[in-house]
Amino acid sequence: MTAQMEILCIGNELLIGKTLNTNAHWLAKRTTILGITVKRITVISDDTKEIARALQETLQRKPRFIITTGGLGPTFDDKTLEGIAKGLNRKLEVNPKALKMVKEKYETYLKQGKIGKIELTPARVKMATLPKNTEPLHNPVGTAPGMMTDFKGTLIAALPGVPPEMEAIFDESLVPILKREAGKQAFFESSIYADRIMESNLAPLIDQAMRDNPHVYIKSHVYVKTDPQTEGGKPHIELHFSTTAENRKTAEKRLNKTTAQLSELVQKNGGKTRAVEKAGKQE
């Protein structure tokens, strides 16, 4: 079984439908490709108690990794570190390594003439105030460091909500760890389109193909475009095949065999299939 991750997205803007959660999508895609299974994504508000509660609930499910996004900045509504401290029952304290990271950022801004003098205001020191026994993560893009800590076998990492910052810290600090954990396991996928057949008629065919190919997961996706009738109209059905394997050769063999079998079944039942993309690791 592959290692499991849960993603915890913190931000009222996600709960009021102001911001589309592209961070969760980006993280889920990257993590899956690396061979780690994303088990759950939870979105919660900028509320210390709620963050602590959700973290504790997540820890009870014992995933190998928890990644949080959002709430690391200098403003009052950035409550992630406070929430994590509460959730882990650890004190908050100014982390000297994190403070050095923050200072160095402002020194750079000073040199670049972007600020007139360096003042470590409370709002700036806040970004370096981490739960006890945690490691700050270097932020190559913005000011607020990320944070990482271990709790009873679960690695918790906190990343900012600003996408370029979140992505940069993930790539720099977390990808090497996730790769090590995944070992040779990687995720492979492919898709074909099925036309002239209803999803309800596809159902037993998918069942059969999955029974004969136990390592491949098949999922049908209905896309409704111009014609609003999903079934009976002209829906657009994608058949998505995925597998986790130690190498591309094994994965492609499995995916190709399953695709060929299901295509044949669809055709026997009056449908048509057409290629979308070749099997392979997503980029």
Q: Which residues between 28 and 57 bind its own copies (CB under 8 A)?
A: 28-32, 37-46, 54, 57
Is 27 a binding residue for its own copies by CB under 8 A? The answer is yes
Closer of 29 and 90 to its own copies (Cβ): 29
* 8 Å CB contact between 118 and 107: yes
Which residues, 70 to 129, sit near its own copies by CB under 8 A? Answer: 73-77, 105-106, 108-109, 112, 114-115, 121-124, 126-127
CA distance 142 to 169: 10
Say if CB 103 and CB 120 are below 8 A apart.
yes
CB of 148 to its own copies, least distance (A): 20
Instruction: Please report how close the Cβ of residue 97 comes to its own copies at its closest, in angstroms.
Output: 19
- Of the residues 48, 185, 230, 261, which one makes contact with its own copies according to CB under 8 A: 230
How many residues of this chain bind its own copies (CB under 8 A)?
85
d(CA 51, CA 10): 8
Q: Which three-class secondary structure state does DSSP give residue 10?
A: strand
- The least distance separating its own copies from the CB of residue 123, rounded to whole angstroms, comes to 4
Judged by CB, which is closer to its own copies: 29, or 138? 29
Q: What is the DSSP string of 118-171?
A: ----HHHHHTTEEETT-EEE--SSSSS-EEEEEETTEEEEEE-SSHHHHHHHII
CB 5 within 8 A of CB 58: no
Candidates 132, 179, 221, 248: give the one binding its own copies (CB under 8 A). Answer: 221
Question: Which residue has 């993309």 as its token pair?
Answer: 277
Binding mask of the shown chain, residues 162 to 201, with x at each position contacting its own copies by CB under 8 A: xxxx---------------------x-x--------xxxx
The answer to whether residue 279 forms part of the interface with its own copies (CB under 8 A) is: no
Could you please report the per-residue DSSP string of 188-222? EEEEEEEESS-HHHHHHHHHHHHHH-TT-EEEEEE
Pick between residue 20 and residue 275 the one whose CB is nearest to its own copies: 20
CA–CA distance, 42 with 47 (Å, rounded to integer)? 14
Identity of the residue, 24 or 137, whose beta carbon is nearer to its own copies in the bound complex: 24
Whose Cβ is closer to its own copies: residue 146's or residue 149's? Answer: 146
